[in-house]
Structure 1
């Protein structure tokens, strides 16, 4: 029997489900997979399925708030220029190629230490691309987008919501913020902006910054409290019904890739995640290490930051952008101003030197 608190939480979940039913159109594939389950009548599967929807809804980056309008993707100069010249497309990489060996395992470690080895995922592969609320981060410039292993030699591509929406009413793909979780204590923190970015946006500290930050902080805290309660409920279910790893994988699916180890919290990451079925012989992407993403690149790239070690290439980057007629508005280009003494500077691309 479920205890009184569990029943109360379940009532809240079901009420939320019907209040948000108009949003279920975004979860059509989730619904089909769930209904195809031979054990879909089990109450634990039903609650886990609803929980998955609520988790994704709480983590969804809608861009309809004045607090979150842009996200950045760090890459090297070579890839950035190939994208601008249309010699390649934006890609989602297979989760097996990520730099974190614990990808997709943090949620199961929290749920009674159910560990995922990914060996059971034989019918599908997951692909993702990473973005961040930190558009101009010294740490991320040092870690990501390096060319020839030179720190701070990459670029930060800053996109507005048009990259994730075909127009004002039709989404191209959903973007979700990550949850940073400590499996032992259950403490979580949601990816979000930090206060300094608000100060930069206002071009100085003032009372308006404090008021704006206060409202944003309350919004994130509301989502955090909701998700803490939801995760407690999921852990209760997995314990009471002895839910197994394969069952969680089937129902929770790609949601597990939104949970990250707490040590990565400074990255303030959000992700696009897509599932590809290996059983579908028509889907040639199943044998690939990436999927192509067709976001509106040229109408959504609003800013481009250049890492300190790549500053000599700024004029070259600017020229490539100016020669691309598809830009309706030229992206703003800026060299990262962080006080970092580069040991080595990027001098060339594809054998062409810039001095």
Structure 2
């Protein structure tokens, strides 16, 4: 090595290298020389001089010392892999033989397997891991056996995976043993063998692997809850300590707090949630602070609204809209002149949150259905638009992202107005054109439960204004954000800009910018901002002149189209599967409808109370305060504003993805002065379940089959007749 290789090293390290350099082949022999050269390389690598280390290790030959040669090649491969040169890394590792050094050989085979697995060469990875013998190195052998078991599990060979995992011995590797028992428990749980799963989970000790132990205790808690053992549930959660894993500890504390809250012990819930630190896991910390704030704001005896506001402030990054409204309401509750109004606004705000929760689609299974009822939604569009969403063409910047378009383009004149008119008991159909709101502008993506509807093909699936000449893009549930996503209402990302609004409305979205929007890079190097995955909600159809309402839902025909003439045996009786599933679905929809009806009726009553209170405040605090309070009321109702539609559009059975923000935000695109939209990040092609070709667009079927040839997406001709 030359003197340049020692640049940047401290004097003590330089002296250490100089001492090692005194070892020569002639004086000390080949083996001692090889060992000293290997150690010099280690010192250089630790000093970030990787090129110098590689140069030294390269000179070590097998005939000098098989052991030093093996470890030089092992570390050479590690250095190349860190530099993302996998081929050179694999080449170095392949030079090592078991006869050189069994332990180095085992490590090289293990690392080769990991690199090959990352490359996607699963078969070669398995071969590398299978090359490792127990006698080579117990720890590495056990880790390789775990990886082989995991690969079998991923490939759905659960029985073989279980045999491999259960053969891993604790004495060989406590760490691999803990991971193997955890994965084995998952397999047994999926096979409904809960006792076996529990036994494996209980075998894991904190000293084996503290993180895996903490995860195991969380699963034990879940199983105990399913088995109806509240004591076992809480005991498992309490066994999770911060020293095991801070994130799992925070989650366990969050769950314990909810248990106390559900039992009515709010003081204990607050105490438990207060144990969670932001350094444990920021997202869980904010959830805990948000829950603390909610408990305190409803505690009207202690009137500890200052602490409630402080808790909401701690949570505002993940719950911007909710914490903004709650803190405004706290201000009203603290003042005697506005306390009664504050109580009414608190009630109406929580009703709004309840309704949003009721209307948000839940993609989980219900009852004993085969699959989730509402697992896919359709979007009708032209063949031209479908093409730019699906075709790959770098020159034209295809494929395009799915767009949420401005609410001002819709064909319903009652958009954004019907809810307030119903709450005010206005019963006519005299709607004015929707005003253009720059600060609270809504962008929507429209979907429907009717995947193959002639009427929607005629209205929305059109090319060149020709009816039924487009396509129905059917999206699977992964295109949307699941209902149980932690955090607040995700579709409100508001940054007020006008001076009039800023005086009374201060939702600050600067900190949540990165949470709602992500920046991506196009093929041409330009940057764009896209809205991240959002939840989707069913619309509610109201009749202005009566009390009729209807929640968007699947119709009976969709079940017969899905199941055809399939039959099932239930309670010993053979029956149509379509009729059976339709019956369960009706029960499911009735529950949601009843929940909405109760919340909506309460909303109407409370709205009248709020209006009365605001009018009273005007005489006490003046018209400016009245205007401020009316603005707050509008902001509180904002999440529901674009989910309420006129009953005339009921047949559409629409669900919506909504994004509300200011039009001067960077993610908003404006073209030709009025063409306004935001782009949605998830890829269309990667989340399609099926495509239906409209009756008048059959000539396009072969083309779509061609551009989707590498994607498993069925393309079907519509079952509807049309001429």
Residue 104 to residue 213, structure 1, CA distance change in 2 (3 Å):
same
Which residue number corresponds to residue 600 of structure 2? 231
Contact conserved, 1:110 with 1:184, CA < 8 A, in 2?
Answer: no
Residue aligned with 2:692, SS: strand
From 701, 714, 717, the equivalent of 1:314 is 701
Residue aligned with 2:707, SS: helix
Deviations 1:253-307 (A, max 9, x none): 13111111111111111000011135xx553517561010012423310100011
What is the CA distance between 1:311 and its match in structure 2? 0.7
Residue 229 to residue 217, structure 1, CA distance change in 2 (3 Å):
same
The 10-residue stretch of structure 1 (307-316 or 168-177) with the greater mean CA deviation from structure 2 = 168-177
Residue aligned with 1:152, SS: coil
Contact conserved, 2:389 with 2:399, CA < 8 A, in 1?
Answer: yes
> Take 1:284 and 1:291, find their aligned partners in 2: how far apart are those partners?
6
Residue aligned with 1:241, SS: helix
From 357, 364, 367, the equivalent of 1:64 is 364
| In the alignment, structure 1 residue 340 sits paired with structure 2 residue 722 | yes
What is the CA distance between 1:336 and its match in structure 2? 0.9
Structure with higher Rg: it is: 2
What is the CA distance between 1:246 and its match in structure 2? 3.7
> Take 1:84 and 1:256, find their aligned partners in 2: how far apart are those partners?
32
Query: Hey, which bits of structure 1, 4+ residues long, moved more than 6 A?
Result: 21-27, 114-117, 168-171
> Take 1:294 and 1:199, find their aligned partners in 2: how far apart are those partners?
34
| In the alignment, structure 1 residue 37 sits paired with structure 2 residue 424 | no
> Take 1:314 and 1:305, find their aligned partners in 2: how far apart are those partners?
9
> Take 2:605 and 2:669, find their aligned partners in 1: how far apart are those partners?
35
Please list, as runs of the form range in 1=range in 2, the aligned pairs for 1:193-204 lying within 5 A after superposition: 193-204=554-565
Residue aligned with 1:242, SS: helix
Please list, as runs of the form range in 1=range in 2, the aligned pairs for 1:50-129 lying within 5 A after superposition: 50-65=350-365, 66-85=372-391, 86-113=398-425, 121-129=437-445
The alignment's C-alpha RMSD in Å is 3.2
Residue aligned with 2:611, SS: coil
Which residue number corresponds to residue 210 of structure 1? 579
Which residue number corresponds to residue 353 of structure 1? none
Contact conserved, 1:164 with 1:296, CA < 8 A, in 2?
Answer: no
What is the CA distance between 1:74 and its match in structure 2? 0.4
Contact conserved, 2:352 with 2:639, CA < 8 A, in 1?
Answer: no
| In the alignment, structure 1 residue 176 sits paired with structure 2 residue 559 | no
More helix by share: 2
Residue 277 to residue 44, structure 1, CA distance change in 2 (3 Å):
farther
Residue 93 to residue 237, structure 1, CA distance change in 2 (3 Å):
same
Please list, as runs of the form range in 1=range in 2, the aligned pairs for 1:241-256 lying within 5 A after superposition: 241-242=610-611, 246-256=631-641
What is the CA distance between 1:313 and its match in structure 2? 1.5
> Take 1:248 and 1:49, find their aligned partners in 2: how far apart are those partners?
9
> Take 2:440 and 2:562, find their aligned partners in 1: how far apart are those partners?
42
> Take 1:99 and 1:174, find their aligned partners in 2: how far apart are those partners?
23
Which residue number corresponds to residue 298 of structure 1? 685
Deviations 1:236-261 (A, max 9, x none): 11212316864442101131111111
> Take 1:117 and 1:108, find their aligned partners in 2: how far apart are those partners?
15
Residue 312 to residue 116, structure 1, CA distance change in 2 (3 Å):
closer
> Take 1:106 and 1:27, find their aligned partners in 2: how far apart are those partners?
30
Identify which of structures 1 and 2 has the higher relative contact order when contacts are C-alpha pairs closer than 8 Å and 6+ apart.
1
More strand by share: 1
> Take 2:585 and 2:320, find their aligned partners in 1: how far apart are those partners?
31
> Take 1:36 and 1:230, find their aligned partners in 2: how far apart are those partners?
23
What is the CA distance between 1:120 and its match in structure 2? 9.1
Please list, as runs of the form range in 1=range in 2, the aligned pairs for 1:154-173 lying within 5 A after superposition: 154-165=470-481, 172-173=533-534
> Take 1:333 and 1:53, find their aligned partners in 2: how far apart are those partners?
39
What is the CA distance between 1:40 and its match in structure 2? 5.4
Unaligned runs of 5+ in 2: 1-260, 267-286, 292-314, 334-341, 366-371, 392-397, 487-531, 568-574, 615-629
Which residue number corresponds to residue 548 of structure 2? 187
Deviations 1:34-57 (A, max 9, x none): 135376541222112111111111
What is the CA distance between 1:185 and its match in structure 2? 2.1
Residue 124 to residue 132, structure 1, CA distance change in 2 (3 Å):
same
Contact conserved, 2:667 with 2:679, CA < 8 A, in 1?
Answer: no
What is the CA distance between 1:163 and its match in structure 2? 0.7
Residue 101 to residue 169, structure 1, CA distance change in 2 (3 Å):
closer
| In the alignment, structure 1 residue 274 sits paired with structure 2 residue 586 | no
| In the alignment, structure 1 residue 283 sits paired with structure 2 residue 657 | no
> Take 1:120 and 1:247, find their aligned partners in 2: how far apart are those partners?
19
Contact conserved, 1:302 with 1:332, CA < 8 A, in 2?
Answer: yes
Contact conserved, 1:199 with 1:205, CA < 8 A, in 2?
Answer: no
From 107, 131, 140, the equivalent of 2:456 is 140
> Take 2:436 and 2:677, find their aligned partners in 1: how far apart are those partners?
21
From 261, 268, 280, the equivalent of 2:646 is 261
Unaligned runs of 5+ in 1: 1-13, 342-355
How many residue pairs match? The answer is 319
Residue aligned with 1:32, SS: helix
Contact conserved, 1:162 with 1:299, CA < 8 A, in 2?
Answer: no
Which residue number corresponds to residue 319 of structure 2? 28
> Take 2:450 and 2:349, find their aligned partners in 1: how far apart are those partners?
32
> Take 2:344 and 2:423, find their aligned partners in 1: how far apart are those partners?
14
What is the CA distance between 1:59 and its match in structure 2? 0.7
> Take 1:214 and 1:262, find their aligned partners in 2: how far apart are those partners?
24
What is the CA distance between 1:165 and its match in structure 2? 3.9
> Take 2:667 and 2:690, find their aligned partners in 1: how far apart are those partners?
34
Contact conserved, 1:34 with 1:40, CA < 8 A, in 2?
Answer: no
